[in-house]
Amino acid sequence: MASNPVFNRFEKQLSEGGYANFGQGQSQQGNPQQGQPGRPGRPGPQDIGGAWGAGQDQLSSQQLEQMYNQGTATPQQTGRMTLDDVVMKTLSLFAIVLVVGAGAWIAAAHNRSLGLGLLGVGIVGTLGLGLLIAFKKTLSVPLIVLYAVLEGLFVGAISQAYEGQYKGVVPQAIVATACVFIGMFAGWKFGLIKVTERSRRIFGFAILGYFLFAIANFVLTLTGVFESPFGAGGTGWLGIGISVFAIGLASYSLAIDFDTIERGVSAGLPEKYSWLMAHGLVVSVVWLYLEILRLLARLRD
């Protein structure tokens, strides 16, 4: 998420206050000086006087009072992103991942070859589409939804494979992921886990390095250079250390997601960015789950 060029663009805007007044133009119509300072969307004395001077229809004192007491426009009315938007879209994407994942699990359990095929489609699809979403200049909701579908195929197929080899490992990974998620949110919320511009840059380089390592590890394992199905380190201490490092990266990715969402809501980002926020959060949670699943499997061996 930290390396997503789309996020980089609005991170710069957030730092410069570029979205501070987003949506105010929609809540102010007519007189450009409408409303008092700090009270957007409410008519001020100039507006009322202008209405009378322009020869508009006579307004009763009750109507004038209603105009003056009119509530400030909500973020939904001005097209700005809210926390509810992010939560609902995150739940929607999670639902897609879970439903598709359940289908992929069932298919893989009944047909191993089909399961391997779904796993391959999921890996290639999420990798390619993830890069497209990251580097695409405009946000595309259909691509984000499609990514959730492919992610579901991958998660369902690989989870079934792990569960078939190591009984009970999937429920353990789910519980552990939920605990880490709650712990990271609490740590970030109470200020125990800090997210700064410097930590974002360090995380960006770290995740890039791990991404390149993961690709190389996958290729070398697939070609038989590494005998262990886990690749570099196998089930030894080196392999366990690699998994712990990856879990640390995925965990801190959640803190960055939480911080970015909060900053985006506070700055009044356009509502469409709630899809990108939700996408980033789902990707981080799934990544964390997969790394925990991998670590538990290593420990079983």
Question: Do 63 and 176 sit in the same domain of this protein?
Answer: no
Residue located via tokens 């929609």: 26
Q: Is the pLDDT of residue 89 over 80?
A: yes
171 and 221 belong to one structural domain: yes
DSSP codes joined into one string, 168-179: THHHHHHHHHHH
Domain count, the chain: 2
- Residue 46, domain member (yes or no): yes
Cβ burial, residue 78 (10 Å; 0-12/13-18/19+): buried
Q: Cα–Cα distance between 206 and 165 in angstroms, integer?
A: 31
285 shares a domain with 241: yes
Q: Is residue 284 part of a domain?
A: yes
Tens digit of pLDDT for each residue in 191-204?
999 999 999 999 99
Residue type, 176: A
Check whether 33 has a pLDDT greater than 50: no
Same domain, 88 and 231: yes
Q: Is the pLDDT of residue 70 over 80?
A: no
Kindly state whether residue 13 falls inside one of the protein's structural domains: no
Q: Domain check: are 52 and 86 in the same one?
A: no
| Residue 253 falls inside a structural domain | yes
More confident residue, 136 or 37: 136
Q: Is pLDDT above 70 for 241?
A: yes
- In the chain, the percentage of residues whose pLDDT exceeds 70 is 74
281 within a domain of the structure (yes/no) = yes
CA distance 51 to 97: 54
Residue 167 has pLDDT above 70, yes or no: yes
* Greater model confidence, 268 or 178: 178
| Nearest CA-CA partner of 262 in 177, 192, 195 | 195
User: Does one domain contain both 237 and 283?
Assistant: yes
Task: Answer yes or no: do 90 and 58 share one domain.
Answer: no
Residue 237 located in a structural domain: yes
The answer on 46 and 86 residing in a single domain is no
Contact 122, 153 (CB under 8 A): yes
Average pLDDT over residues 53-63: 53
Residues 284/94, Cβ–Cβ less than 8 Å: no
Residues 90 and 232 in one domain: yes
Is the residue at 113 inside a domain? no
Mean pLDDT of all residues in 208-230: 90
Model confidence at 237: pLDDT above 60: yes
d(CA 45, CA 57): 17
90 and 221, same structural domain?
Answer: yes
192/245 same-domain check: yes
Position 28 confidence tier, pLDDT thresholds 50, 70, 90:
very low
Q: Give the mean model confidence (pLDDT) for residues 169-194.
A: 96
Domain around 290? 82-95+135-140+167-300
Identify whether 122 is part of a domain: no
Residue 26 confidence (pLDDT) above 90: no
DSSP 8-class letter at 81: -
Mean pLDDT of 150-164: 96
